[in-house]
Amino acid sequence: MEPVKNATVYIVDDDAGVRDALAWLLRSRRLHSEAFDSGEAFDTHISGSFAVTSPACVLLDVRMSGLSGLAMFEKLIAYGLQPTLPVIFLTGHADVPTAVAAVKRGAFDFCEKPFSDNALVDRIEQALQHSAAALAEHSESSSLQARLDGLTERERDVMKLVVGGLPNKLVADQLDISVRTVEVHRARVFDKMGVKSAVELANLMRTIQP
């Protein structure tokens, strides 16, 4: 597996020994980390204008004083940071059912203490790959939306009918415009959307409206 570049692993655990051990482990694997001693401290860090701009994941202790790991995870969902910021729960044996329930809610995985260093790093690297893929998908979606926003209302009307498979003559009849005008709008839509055919345009639109 190719290492993910410019990645950050956030460690959220109220046990200083665990934080230090995890930070050392990650350094030994050339992974950058930032540690927080409570859910509240991490919540302060990610609230407001925080955005995931490069691959990242969170190692989140389930059982912490104050804001629990599960409550912190719910905040991550509410902030819209999933799945670009996947969560791996660190749990004791008694917390496994809670961690399993969190995975069903969208958490990436859980690792039971004491965990295998190699197994944990493998899952961290997979979580970072997941984050990178989610960021790429989000970037593509944002780019596509920007292209759609650049269409005029008439171009949108033409595009919907073209995507629906109508030839220029029927598009013209439906919109009560000339075939030549349809051809002009159609060419502009293709240019703005970065496609060369109606089939390519239809496939592109299916990525946001399956």
- List the one residue out of 72, 67, 204 whose CA is nearest residue 143: 204
Residue for token digits 């961690």?
Answer: 99
User: Any idea what the Cα angle at residue 33 is, between residues 32 and 35, rounded to 5°?
Assistant: 165
Dist. CA 200–CA 189, nearest whole Å: 12
Dist. CA 88–CA 90, nearest whole Å: 7
Average per-residue pLDDT in the chain?
A: 90
Q: What is the pLDDT of residue 210?
A: 46
Question: pLDDT grade, residue 37 (50/70/90)?
Answer: very high
Helix (H, G, I), strand (E, B) or coil at 176: coil
Amino acid occupying residue 4? V
Q: Per-residue pLDDT tens for 18-27?
A: 999 999 999 9
With 0.85 as the threshold, say if the pTM is over it: no
Dist. CA 172–CA 150, nearest whole Å: 22
Contact present, 66 and 12 (Cβ < 8 Å): no
Q: Per-residue pLDDT tens for 45-92?
A: 998 888 899 999 999 999 998 999 999 999 999 998 988 999 999 988
Given strand 109-112, what is the order of strands in its sheet?
32-36, 8-12, 56-61, 87-91, 109-112
Q: Length of the chain in residues, anyone?
A: 210
Say which DSSP state 117 is in: H
Q: Which two tokens stand for residue 83?
A: 């799945």
Q: Per-residue pLDDT tens for 94-140?
A: 778 888 888 888 999 999 888 899 999 999 999 999 999 999 888 77
User: What's the rounded mean pLDDT across residues 33-56?
Assistant: 93
The tally of CA atoms less than 13 A away on the side-chain side of residue 97 is 1
Q: What is the pLDDT of residue 39?
A: 96
Contact present, 35 and 23 (Cβ < 8 Å): yes
Domains of the chain: 8-141 (3.40.50.2300), 150-206 (1.10.10.10)
